[in-house]
A and B are shown apart, each in its own frame.
Chain A
């Protein structure tokens, strides 16, 4: 017998045996584990690709095993289709995922049910960091929009700030940033303001004019605006661009497969997705149980083994290998270099009672059409 217990190996073994209670007893104050056993089914938002596979291994299968509730895996879709399904009174999911930049808007429109925290462990809820659970949402994953570059091109001293990304003399070559029609999700406006010298703490409310002035400077060097998470890293791999922005998980996944993409956590924008329960969901109780299950640290730690999205429950870090943890944006070493995006701003109503997300699209179109 080994006398040194490797936490991860222990977790995996006990998890495989279905002994989740044993795994939880690793923590100092394990309140009585809430019994999530139930019956019936729950329709859950799938992620597709590696995201879906990670959810299946970390959440769907163990949840079925522990609770007896069947998980119906429903394919992912766009925000618009989720909203349409709730409006039609037949939500696509019992428990869905929404980006932080649209969650509040859904809640304001009365499209979500309040989360029943009775099913959750208090210790888990307290451990959520840096984003807390809210009345209508439980954070699911945290990721960071960081500056990325071709590390073959700038081997010794790569760009380290958004100002560097804007500095085409020091780092010559084409760039790519997310399209501004993504509003908050793309972070392009924040990047533009930081490149112009605005401190992260003084970003909000965003100064649109200053942001577009800054974008005007980089525009001649933009090869294209990227429109899917895969595109940024792909453009670097293909040597089409030398620098830009990308999500940390995409960069690490590409690098694990042999790509050479450099990045910096400095001035990274922390973003997150939430679990939400749509109004009209057929299996509300099961959905709440699922959200509670997905908030447990051991499940989030297992999730991280499959994909590099940070766990919102900070206790999960106790169970994640160090080398793996270092790649995550909320690990203690790098957390302080970044800031959490202000979703409150993006969901709020701006000038003329129009939501800021919508203002961003309209202003972006004006700018591209040369009418700004």
Chain B
């Protein structure tokens, strides 16, 4: 208890205390309030995540009962490990930049739309996630290979004389990875841009600002929190990524997460895997510490003393992590072009760009759909004949249906749990004064960086002790951990650009805190809520690695069934799953349209009756 209270300082923003309440009571109440926001999530993380991971790390320092650095030195001194880490960092950085360059204009267009169209296009952005990683990679091969769709088109158009090498090399790696990571960039950007008041840019223009200058000094800084959020998500999740590069990259492709996965799954050598994961985490930590001032101000400025930063108070631009800022400056000509395009009414160009980006996101699914209707016993494109045999096979297989239902339920409950635990933390980090903000933030987003195989091993031993392996609760816990980083990053981005004066206005007009929350705060944060929920859901729904450890006879998620199925033979069955998931997404979109239009009708109806 003593430690906790030492950890938590007083809220900088306490909710409109009544004048007659003694100061220390206010302080105590604020303290308790902050504690209540942060402690549940921290407790969960300490018990099922930090402690087990810590003991795994401690284990990596032991060999035959005595302390040793052998595991770590083995990696550090190996020239291979350094090279592989460097390659991983470079790849992650390049993918992040590419995602930003493609994602920014796309999010800009999406944010300028409203209602059903925007929701529909956002749905398309999330399409990469409905296709399991293996079928998606297969689809990319179909599209990109020497005799693939793109090369056939280029040859036919006479653009090239011989097929271009677009896959099984660097190009394939980037095409595949950027597609998967792009939604992680677009959603936070969209959430930030959605709230930008367009009249601010117009005002700048009216006051004589050049189009570029208006964009550069007004719009770009206002979208800064989205850029920071998106870049953080993409960069970190790239570090723990290896399946797509392994499937689409060349024979020299090898990333650090791959090495760690091999050590866990094939060698069953947990100590050296933990050692490498520790080193990877240390590298990330160094990056974070280098950018700590930026992160701290991103989190709300009230962090650890050395992190106090007021130099960037006026400009969101200065709040970005250093690296991002440099990249942004390097990209200034491109951004300038964007700015000019916007101003000259050249929205058409932007639109073409956005549509191209959407096609890029959806392309693999366009290949997957015909595959699902294939009549062939194995994957071949184009299918020799069409039939519903694989749909029938799927729908008549109780194992697959049970697994699907299990995955939907567990990922759903997991996502809601991480939302319930994570949103209060995001509030506390952004709005309250708290010692150790950076540590809390790092702890909660680290599941994004720590390779999942390592989390799986650590979590497994804890859950086994609690007899939770192979149970629903075990999966909920696992999926909550996986969803937390997404909730936190997306929500912090959402809160950063939040105009608190709106809440204050409501409060000063007599609204009680709960009313402010319900009528002002919550509705403004809906886009962030939805994208946080979506990401957290997908994080659980898509997981294979933790499932391999935690599944049991009555608790088998869908990805494990698919994994089981494709190790020996890749059948069109997994294409069916992708198509069904897409249909489910589209159906929920229609339901959303229907619901919102009814609400719309009711609204009209009510206002009419008021008028009457």
Contact = CB atoms under 8 A, between A and B. Distances in A.
A and B are partners in one complex rather than unrelated chains: yes
Interface of A: 43, 46-52, 72-85, 87-90, 92, 102, 105, 181-183, 185, 219, 222-225, 227-231, 234, 237-240, 249-250, 253-254, 257-259, 357-358, 361-362, 365-366, 368-371
A365 B80 contact: yes
B460 interface: yes
Interface string B583-607: 0000000000000000000000000
The 5 tightest CB contacts between A and B, nearest first, are A48-B564, A88-B464, A371-B79, A257-B377, A83-B268
Given A238-B380, A358-B269, 11 more contacts: A80-B265, A80-B457, A92-B469, A185-B266, A222-B251, A227-B247, A237-B380, A238-B379, A361-B262, A368-B80, A369-B83
B377 A365 contact: no
A73 B553 contact: yes
Nearest to A183: B266
Interface in B57-109: 78-81, 83-84, 87
A268 to B, nearest CB: 18
A49 B457 contact: no
Contact of B262 (A72, A76, A181, A223): A181
Contact of B564 (A52, A105, A222, A361): A52
Interface of B: 78-81, 83-84, 87, 138, 141-142, 145-147, 168, 246-247, 249-252, 254, 258-259, 262-270, 376-381, 453, 456-457, 460-461, 464-465, 467, 469, 548-549, 551-553, 556, 560-561, 563-570
A125 B556 CA distance: 36
A368 B254 contact: yes
Contacts of B456: 81
Contact of B464 (A46, A78, A89, A219): A89
Contacts of B145: 238, 240
Contact of B549 (A77, A237, A357, A361): A77
Contacts of B565: 48-49
B251 A50 contact: no
Interface centre among A183, A369, A371 (most CB of B within 10 A): A369
Nearest to A81: B549
A361 B263 contact: yes
A365 B460 contact: no
Nearest to B87: A369
Contacts of B147: 239
A80 B84 contact: no
A77 B548 contact: yes
A368 B80 CA distance: 8
B378 A358 contact: no
Given A181-B266, A224-B168, A369-B83, A362 B251 contact: no
A231 to B, nearest CB: 8
A363 to B, nearest CB: 9
Contacts of A181: 258-259, 262, 266
Nearest to A182: B266
A78 B261 CA distance: 11
Contact of A76 (B267, B469, B564): B564
Contacts of A229: 567-568
B548 A50 contact: no
B460 A81 contact: yes
A328 B87 CA distance: 43
Contacts of A84: 268, 270, 457, 460-461, 464, 549
A183 B464 CA distance: 30
A185 to B, nearest CB: 8
Nearest to A229: B568
B259 A365 contact: yes
Given A229-B568, A230-B567, A361-B263, A78 B548 contact: yes
Contacts of B251: 219, 222-225
A85 B474 CA distance: 15
Contact of B569 (A50, A81, A358): A50
9 contacts: A43-B553, A48-B563, A74-B552, A79-B266, A84-B268, A181-B258, A224-B168, A224-B250, A259-B378
Nearest to B565: A49
Contacts of A92: 469, 552
A139 to B, nearest CB: 19
A307 to B, nearest CB: 9
Contact of B570 (A87, A234, A239): A234
A21 to B, nearest CB: 31
A109 to B, nearest CB: 9
Interface centre among A47, A88, A182 (most CB of B within 10 A): A88
B457 to A, nearest CB: 6
Contacts of B146: 240
A46 B567 CA distance: 13
Nearest to B560: A75
Contacts of A368: 80, 252, 254
A358 B270 CA distance: 12
A369 B80 CA distance: 5
Contact of A361 (B168, B267, B567): B267
Contacts of B259: 181, 361, 365
A81 B566 contact: no
A48 B254 CA distance: 28
B564 A366 contact: no
B367 to A, nearest CB: 12
B380 to A, nearest CB: 6
Contacts of A253: 568-569
B262 A49 contact: no
A195 to B, nearest CB: 16
A88 B465 contact: yes
A78 B552 contact: no
A85 B81 CA distance: 29
Interface centre among B381, B456, B460 (most CB of A within 10 A): B460
A183 to B, nearest CB: 7
Contact of A369 (B79, B262, B265, B378): B79
B141 A81 contact: no
Contacts of B264: 78, 80
B167 to A, nearest CB: 9
A56 B268 CA distance: 28
Contacts of B548: 77-78, 81
Contacts of B83: 369-371
Contacts of A185: 266
Contacts of B376: 257-258
Contacts of A72: 553
B564 A237 contact: no
A215 to B, nearest CB: 10
Contacts of A228: 566-568
B583 to A, nearest CB: 24
A366 B551 contact: no
Contacts of A76: 564
Nearest to B569: A230
Contacts of B266: 78-80, 181-183, 185, 357, 361
A371 B80 contact: yes
A333 to B, nearest CB: 25
B254 to A, nearest CB: 5
Contact of B141 (A83, A222, A238, A371): A238
Nearest to A72: B553
B569 A366 contact: no
B79 A75 contact: no
Nearest to A228: B567
Given A230-B567, A234-B379, A237-B378, A366 B79 contact: yes
Contacts of A74: 552-553
Given A80-B453, A358-B267, A49 B464 contact: no
A75 B550 CA distance: 11
Nearest to A111: B268
B378 A357 contact: no
Nearest to A249: B568
B283 to A, nearest CB: 16
B395 to A, nearest CB: 18
A65 B565 CA distance: 27
A254 B378 contact: yes
